[in-house]
Amino acid sequence: MTEEDCRFYLTATRAVARAAYDWAGQFFEDDGYAVVLQEIDEDRDIFETSVYPLGDSERVADAFRAWVAENAPAEELRREVFHDVDWVEKSLEGLKPVQAKRITVHGRHDRAAVGLGQIGIEIEAGQAFGTGHHGTTAGCLILLQDILKAERPQTILDLGTGSAVLAIAAARLSPAHVIATDIDAVAVEVARHNVRLNGVHDRVRCWTATGFGHTAIRVGEPYDLIVANILAGPLRRLAPEMARHLAANGSVLLSGILDEQRRSVIAAYTGQGFRHVRTIHREGWSTLHLRR
């Protein structure tokens, strides 16, 4: 990271921090900024909401500060600057392994946590999101396993792959070939490393791409399954392209959707000929399975 990289964060009670988290997720959804809710003190029920701007820190500070002044005037918005700190590595130190049905997502410090019969996915810290701890990633892992078992897709596209945890899970659970993309070149490098670390580099290819614009994506189409754990706004806009790049009878697995945004995302896809199969709700987030 550069010296300019930072986060703005609010430390408060669960209710206030959650309200800030919900607001920030909606307010910044079209910007692609990461918004994180984390428990800080279990005994006192204290949580922290963070927003990680992508170069537009002044705008984020002004908007977040205005929200705090109106909704939590007794609290203080703080700023933390990262001086080439691998902050994901730092955050993973206190995180426990995540279990989602047959899958256990863990760091190198918790390899022994993978139980008998479980499939371990090791995600090494890096400057990318998607460790499995967020409700969206965990929800995707649950639905992904059900889709792979029922439909047995052979070609899979993972849009917004982050750490590649979903792409790796797909390759570990099936013989499918996976294309994984992200708009962030740093995330793609982390994804490639994690793919190699988990031994699926022969069937998972990672590329830096925006939407469906990369040649590698077009070469691999049509896809039996498209996974996209991004944000509700981009998901709605991508609905027509999803339909064009998906095989007949194919499925899409969508997440990064707040519960209150679920209906609008479903409407965008049913308008393209999809039918809603199932929704998983987890920690205020919805993960959707739709099929053509």
User: By three-state DSSP, how is residue 25 classified?
Assistant: helix
Taking the mean position of all CA atoms in its chain, how far away is CA 199?
Answer: 22
Query: Does the annotation list 182 as a binding residue?
Result: yes
pLDDT tens across 15-38, in order? 999 999 999 988 987 777 878 888
Q: Which domains, ranges and CATH numbers included, belong to the chain?
A: 6-85 (3.30.70.260), 130-291 (3.40.50.150)
- Greatest extent of the chain over all pairs of C-alpha atoms, in Å: 55
Coil, helix or strand at residue 131? coil
Confidence check: pLDDT of 125 > 60: no
For residue 86, what pLDDT is reported?
54
CA separation, residue 248 to residues 153, 243, 291 (Å): 12, 9, 9
229 is in an annotated binding site: yes
Residue 161 is assigned to a ligand binding site: no
Which tokens go with 61?
């500070």
- What confidence tens digit (pLDDT) does each residue in 183-202 have? 888 889 889 999 999 999 99
**Are the C-beta atoms of 107 and 125 separated by less than 8 Å?**
yes
Tell me the average pLDDT of the chain: 87
Q: Look up the pTM and report it.
A: 0.71
Contacts with 41 (C-beta within 8 Å, 6 or more apart), sequence order = none
* Res. 41: pLDDT tops 70: yes
Is 194 marked as a binding-site residue?
A: no
